[in-house]
Structure 1
Amino acid sequence: MATRYGQGYGEWVGPALQGARGWTHRLPAALRAPVEGRSWKEFCYLLLSLPIGIMMFTYSVTMLSLGAGLLVTFVGIPLLAAALAGCRGFGALERVRARALLGLEVADPEPVPVRRGGPMGWVWAVLKSGTSWRHMLYTVVQFPWATFSFCVGVSLWATGWALLTYPLWFWVFPVYAGQGGIQLYGDGTHHIYLDNPFEITVTALVGLLFTLATPWIVRGLTTVDRLLVLGLLGPSRLATRVVELESDRGVVVDTAAADLRRIERDLHDGAQARLVALAMDLGLAKEKLAEDPQAAARMVGEAHGEVKTALQELRDLARGIHPAVLTDRGLDAALSAVASRCTVPVQVDVDLPSRPAPAIEGIAYFTVSELLQNVSKHARASRASVDVWRVDDRLLLQVSDDGVGGADASGGSGLAGLAGRLDAVDGILVVDSPAGGPTRITAELPWRSV
């Protein structure tokens, strides 16, 4: 016994069914389409579209007409709101049906924004909701399309299978209908029937053509249904963009907070600790200055070394916040400086017509810096390269190495965090790192001029 997971998870697959599926998957897609589960689901979607479309169309037109006709009275306003609320309910049903039969995942639209309490607050919120009116538009537009697709799909499906199986049931005509077979032509003196073996075979072949073509035609018809559901029953572009911006804002806030914690930790554990020790050493040297000048001089010398170390740590910390070379000379010089600190030879090629905005420039710098750190720590590479260029209104960065590969941006890895930070500014991170290498990581950022 085998259990497979995914679509249809938890479904028991016996040995016979496994063999049948293996056999069908060895067929070309054009030949196995008539017996695929996806084709039958899409055909079932077309079958259900007509009765559901009739129900939705009747409801929406009736309620809309009744509500509009009664607008001269107060009753029409809540009737219109009830009509829109009902259309939203039908929209929820359609999203479930599209998910089950078409495999189309559509997020629920934003809820009705009720800003004032009471029934009238809800009525006005529903009437002002663009999402509600889009749902009503769907119930009106879907009906004629459902009628057309139902007629086309059922006619082609029935014709194809009927003709394909004609050799199995043509005997019905001479036995029960008193004629040789399907009648192609007939008048008072002439009759043409499909009744000899050659004609029966040709009929089956024509049915085979219909049967093979029908799933693709049905797929094209349901593509229009997918577009209707996506465009009218999902969240609006504005609402989706607001959600994205809210998520990106959270990422930016979390990243900024993490950076502040890192700076505080580096200051506390590094430069601050060294300065405290320096102050203590200088205090001891001051006490010993009169009684043991040589020991005091030795302690002052050690303190001088500590000052140099603290200054270097502060420079490194400042470089991690925002390097001066990036501000003064741009990405080319800044990335060359980063590459010089990498443990493997790095070739840097920056081809930009001008400098991007400081924010984008900073993100590009830290992205390459983090990727080169990964090369030094994990890649086990002998060489690497950094390429930076502009395409239209996008800034592209690519870091490549000849290491062992296997870099993964999923889970809680550093690449996942980097991808999240890029996403916060509408950027993209693409990781191509097969096992055994080479690794090629491409980052794409919006181009914003200074």
Structure 2
Amino acid sequence: MVKETRREQHLKAPWRGLGLMLLGIPATFVGIWFISVVSMITGALGVLLFPSAARLMRGQADVYRKAIAAWTGVRIERPYLPEPDPEPGIAGRLKRFIAMISDPATWRDYLWIVADPIVVVFTAALPGLLVLYGLWGYFLAAFAGGMIGHYGGSEWYAWVEVDGGYDRDAGRLVSTVVVATVCVAVGFLIGPKMMAVYGRWGRAVLGPTEKSRLALRVRHLSESRSVAVDASAAELRRIERDLHDGAQARLVAMGMSLGAIEHLLDKDPEKARTLLAETRASSAKALHELRDLVRGIHPPVLADRGVGDAVKALALDHPLDVEVTVDLPGRPEAPVESAAYFAVSEILTNAAKHSGAGRVWIDLRHERGMLRVTVTDDGRGGATLDGGTGLRGIERRIGTFDGVLALNSPVGGPTIVTLELPCALSSPKTSPS
């Protein structure tokens, strides 16, 4: 999101506050439906309808969360406890009903819908209402006051009575313009502060409680642990397969060749020398395959010099033109370094296979407690997280470290993949000379 200037914030805040106030119109109908369903809970119909009514209310609360995040900068996590797995029959419906009705977030959502129409008027919407009141004052001073007086009406603007226009009293005209100007100025001046107050109110009611935060954390850790176990098992299977099909097969063949050489030494020394040369070549290939396997597990340059130099070494061997910028005053923890390295390796592989790019830029830096990695290519774009297993797999793996992945890939390019992994940096390590 593009950061707004203070001037833009002051100009937009009153109208955004009015927009938040207007969200209360559909929310009111949702709240009426919800409380109507609650009143029927003593019967079977209420139990059946309650989950759908609660989801409808949660959807409305999500609209508020997105609007508050976009207009106030206050991000609010979804606070709902995990729902039970779907089960057929009455038992499944009853479990879902109990889970939703016992979730504190359900009733906090309803509290929001009931209380927000009042709170918003005195917080986010107040600047917009002041601006509108000021504009109404200008209309009164310009022509509306005269029209009201012409048709025999009476109108009060603040302490100024508009009963016959301003033709006979210039003081009332000046007072109206002054009050209107003050209202407009104050409305624009206090707009961002009132929006900030409203954002805090939204986070207090629509955000997670400690209970739901803990439950969500437990669920996230369970999912990330499962992903880590699956990834480790897959990696072990890959290592076993590579050893079985590569180095192990060559070593077995070398053993057989050495046995044949032993029998040929006296009978056919020339053939024995030929087999020795072939065996020596096989040993070199086996050594090369073992080195490649070790690099795939944990590259020596990553262990010795850190993720910055490891990514630079990766870039040197890549078929595309890769430019690497590193700004790391220290080294992250070894597991984070490994996760970042293999994530970059996978992204580069995807870029070479699918993007049609000619150049790639990689930026590694540490900001606000995060290892931030940005990979940009000048390819055709159009990449999505759902387009294959590569990026989704990276997202799951870095999720083990509470990392996040963001993708921006419009059609026509460029494609920008950003990774953020929370970590602390240690002092730089140097390899021995």
Question: What TM-score do the two structures reach when normalised by structure 1?
Answer: 0.57
> The residue matched to 2:133 in structure 1 has which SS?
helix
The verdict on how the C-alpha distance between 1:295 and 1:410 changes in structure 2, with shifts beyond 3 A counting, is same
Deviation at 1:249, TM superposition (A): 3.1
Q: Distance in 2 between matches of 1:151 and 1:391?
A: 36
Aligned length: 390
Deviation at 1:157, TM superposition (A): 6.4
Q: Distance in 2 between matches of 1:422 and 1:178?
A: 69
Which segment is superposed worse, 294-303 or 86-95? 86-95
Query: Which residue identity lines up with residue 174 of structure 1 in the other structure?
Result: G
Equivalent residue for 2:80, pick from 109, 116, 127: 109
Structure 1 residue runs of 5 or longer lacking an equivalent are 1-27, 64-77
Deviation at 1:120, TM superposition (A): 11
Contact in 1 for aligned 2:311/2:344 (Cα 8 Å):
no
User: Counterpart of 1:303?
Assistant: 279
Equivalent residue for 2:130, pick from 135, 153, 156: 156
The verdict on how the C-alpha distance between 1:31 and 1:346 changes in structure 2, with shifts beyond 3 A counting, is closer
Equivalent residue for 1:446, pick from 423, 428, 431: 423
Equivalent residue for 1:99, pick from 63, 82, 92: 63
Q: Give 1:46-445 correspondences, 5 Å limit.
A: 92-93=56-57, 95-96=59-60, 99=63, 103=67, 107=78, 109-110=80-81, 129-132=103-106, 134-135=108-109, 138=112, 142=116, 145=119, 148=122, 152=126, 156=130, 159-166=133-140, 167-177=142-152, 194-195=166-167, 203=176, 207=180, 210=183, 227-233=200-206, 235=208, 236-279=212-255, 281-282=257-258, 285=261, 291-323=267-299, 329=304, 331=306, 335=310, 338=313, 342=317, 351-352=329-330, 357-364=333-340, 366=342, 394=369, 396=371, 405=378, 410-411=384-385, 412=388, 417-428=393-404, 444-445=421-422
Query: Which residue identity lines up with residue 166 of structure 2 in the other structure?
Result: L
Q: Distance in 2 between matches of 1:347 and 1:46?
A: 48
Query: Which residue identity lines up with residue 316 of structure 1 in the other structure?
Result: D
The verdict on how the C-alpha distance between 1:338 and 1:122 changes in structure 2, with shifts beyond 3 A counting, is closer
> The residue matched to 1:109 in structure 2 has which SS?
coil
Query: Which residue identity lines up with residue 232 of structure 1 in the other structure?
Result: V
The verdict on how the C-alpha distance between 1:147 and 1:104 changes in structure 2, with shifts beyond 3 A counting, is closer
Q: Distance in 2 between matches of 1:426 and 1:129?
A: 25
Query: Which residue identity lines up with residue 296 of structure 1 in the other structure?
Result: A
Deviation at 1:317, TM superposition (A): 0.5
The CA RMSD measured in Å over matched residues stands at: 6.3
Contact in 1 for aligned 2:324/2:362 (Cα 8 Å):
yes
Query: Which residue identity lines up with residue 99 of structure 1 in the other structure?
Result: V
Q: Distance in 2 between matches of 1:275 and 1:194?
A: 105
Equivalent residue for 1:44, pick from 9, 12, 22: 22
Q: Which has the higher contact order (CA 8 A, sep 6+)?
A: 2
Q: Distance in 2 between matches of 1:53 and 1:297?
A: 88
The verdict on how the C-alpha distance between 1:429 and 1:133 changes in structure 2, with shifts beyond 3 A counting, is closer
Deviation at 1:302, TM superposition (A): 0.6
Contact in 1 for aligned 2:58/2:106 (Cα 8 Å):
no
Q: Distance in 2 between matches of 1:221 and 1:247?
A: 39
Q: Distance in 1 between matches of 2:61 and 2:291?
A: 61
> The residue matched to 2:401 in structure 1 has which SS?
coil
Q: Distance in 1 between matches of 2:393 and 2:254?
A: 37
Deviations 1:47-75 (A, max 9, x none): 677x779979x99xxx9xxxxxxxxxxxx
User: Counterpart of 2:88?
Assistant: none
Contact in 2 for aligned 1:42/1:101 (Cα 8 Å):
no
> The residue matched to 1:252 in structure 2 has which SS?
helix
User: Counterpart of 1:22?
Assistant: none
Deviation at 1:171, TM superposition (A): 3.2
Q: Distance in 1 between matches of 2:276 and 2:258?
A: 7
Q: Distance in 2 between matches of 1:123 and 1:432?
A: 39
Contact in 2 for aligned 1:53/1:143 (Cα 8 Å):
no
Query: Which residue identity lines up with residue 244 of structure 1 in the other structure?
Result: H
The percent identity for this pair of structures is: 29
> The residue matched to 1:177 in structure 2 has which SS?
coil
Whose radius of gyration is greater, 1 or 2?
1
Deviations 1:173-203 (A, max 9, x none): 43332889979568xxxx9963369765984
The verdict on how the C-alpha distance between 1:416 and 1:201 changes in structure 2, with shifts beyond 3 A counting, is farther
Q: Distance in 2 between matches of 1:119 and 1:317?
A: 51
Deviations 1:275-332 (A, max 9, x none): 45445545665665565331232022211210121122112212321346766x5638
Contact in 1 for aligned 2:51/2:100 (Cα 8 Å):
no
Deviations 1:21-78 (A, max 9, x none): xxxxxxx8877888x7x665334235677x779979x99xxx9xxxxxxxxxxxxxx9
Q: Distance in 2 between matches of 1:180 and 1:130?
A: 48
Contact in 2 for aligned 1:53/1:146 (Cα 8 Å):
no
